[in-house]
Amino acid sequence: MTIKSAQTLVAEAYSEIKTINADEALKLVKENKCNLIDIRDIRELEKEGKVENAVHIPRGMLEFWIDPNSQYFKQGKLDMDKEMVLFCAAGARSALASKSLQDMGFKKVSHIEGGFASIKKSDFNLI
C-alpha cells in the first residue's frame, strides 16, 4: 500500500488554494470583509494567545461547524457571505483546511501564510 505523505497533501493544497500574508488578512478584517478563523487546538490558544476578533473553530470540527446541513452547524457564528480566512500555528493545517472548504464548495477561502507565527509579527491585536 502506498500512501501520500502529509507533506505531499500540504504541497498539493498550497497549489490549489489562495494564500495571503498577515497584512493582507488584517486589511480584510479592518474592512469587515472576512471571517478570521483560528483552527488551532484550544491548548495552543491557551499557551500562545489569541487574535482579537478571530473565531475559534478547532480543525477537527471545521467542516461540521461550517456545514449548514450538519447537526453541529454553529448558526450565526460566521457570515457565510464573507471570505473565510483561516490560520493555524504555521500554515500547514490551515492549508489543508482551506482546501477542504473549497472541496465543500466555498468560493471565498484563503489562509494566512506562516499562521499565528506571522500574525504575531504583524499589527494584529493579540489577547
The 10s digit of each residue's pLDDT in 10-66 is 999 999 999 999 999 999 999 999 999 999 999 999 999 999 999 999 999 999 999
- What's the domain count of the chain? 1
Per-residue pLDDT, 11: 96
Per-residue pLDDT, 62: 97
Q: What angle do CA 17, 62, 107 make, to 5 degrees?
A: 35
Name the average pLDDT for the chain: 97
Asked whether residue 30 is assigned to any structural domain, the reply reads yes
Asked whether residue 1 is assigned to any structural domain, the reply reads no
- Residue 5 confidence (pLDDT) above 90: yes
Distance CA 127, CA 46 (A): 10
- Residue 1 confidence (pLDDT) above 90: no
In 3D space, the residue among 73, 72, 76, 71 whose CA is nearest the CA of residue 35 turns out to be 76
In 3D space, the residue among 44, 49, 76, 48 whose CA is nearest the CA of residue 60 turns out to be 44
User: Where does the pLDDT of residue 84 fall: very low under 50, low under 70, confident under 90, or very high at 90 and above?
Assistant: very high
What's the distance, CA 67 to chain centroid? 15
| Interval 7-23: pLDDT, tens | 999 999 999 999 999 99
Asked whether residue 127 is assigned to any structural domain, the reply reads no
Domain ranges, residue 110: 6-120
Asked whether residue 116 is assigned to any structural domain, the reply reads yes
Asked whether residue 36 is assigned to any structural domain, the reply reads yes
Asked whether residue 125 is assigned to any structural domain, the reply reads no
- The pTM (predicted TM-score) of the whole model is 0.96
**Looking at residue 36, which CATH number applies to its domain?**
3.40.250.10
